[in-house]
Amino acid sequence: MIASGPTDEDSNRARKLHAQQLEIHAVGCSKEREDIPEIIFGPRDTEGVEVPHNDTLIIQVVIANYTIFRTFVDTGSSMNIMFKKAFDKIQIDRNKLQPMTTPLYGFTSNEVLLIGQARLVISLGEEPLKRMRTTNFIVVDAPSAYNVILG
């Protein structure tokens, strides 16, 4: 789990302002989305699974019009991470990366080499439930079994 990360801007003043403005919001469902089918897991879905479990959720997403496999969904992370190997494969010009000076610490408390951050379009789901958003990704040069970590 990555406990903290950069804001939209990478300066001490921006980080302090961001920390002062943190709020807690309730997650709910708007009236217009009530008709969307629910995702339900039944008894057949838990066959062979020891309960309680903490299995990882690995999905595929579309980022910048490229399908990215081995995307780890980390609900405890506060940022989105793209690893250098995946970033290089989607062929985005490195000049589009914004520099970063905020240190990032990995799972073993060691500092991770930051390449920069980029705002990329991410698409999740399939029509008619497909959602697209533009979001920040921190690009790091570190070994990983995943291509992306979604926070």
Written as one string, the DSSP assignment of 80-112 is -EEEHHHHHHTT--GGGSBP--S-EE-TTSPEE
pLDDT in tens, 87-143: 999 988 888 899 988 878 776 678 888 899 999 999 988 888 888 999 999 999 888
Domain membership of residue 1 (yes or no) is: no
Q: Within a domain: residue 106?
A: yes
Residue 33 has pLDDT above 70, yes or no: no
Residue 4, domain member (yes or no): no
Q: CA–CA separation, 35 vs 23, rounded Å?
A: 29
Distance CA 124, CA 132 (A): 7
Per-residue pLDDT reduced to its tens digit, 54-97: 778 888 999 999 999 999 998 877 789 999 999 999 988 888 89
Look at residue 24 and tell me whether its pLDDT is greater than 60. Answer: no
DSSP 37: P
Q: For the residues 21-26, what does the mean pLDDT come to?
A: 49
Q: Is 5 among the domain residues? A: no
Q: What is the pLDDT of residue 8?
A: 52
Residue 22 has pLDDT above 80, yes or no: no
Q: Within a domain: residue 145?
A: yes
Cα distance between residue 63 and residue 135, in whole Å: 10
CATH number of the domain that 126 lies in? 2.40.70.10
**The pLDDT of residue 146 is above 90:** yes
Instruction: Give 57's Cβ-side CA count (13 Å radius).
Output: 7
**How many structural domains does the chain have?**
1
Please give the residue range of the domain that contains residue 112: 12-150
**Is 65 part of a structural domain of the chain?**
yes
* pLDDT attached to residue 79: 86
Pick left, alpha or beta for residue 20 (phi over 0 → left; psi -120 to 50 → alpha; otherwise beta): alpha
pLDDT band at 2 (very low <50, low <70, confident <90, very high): very low
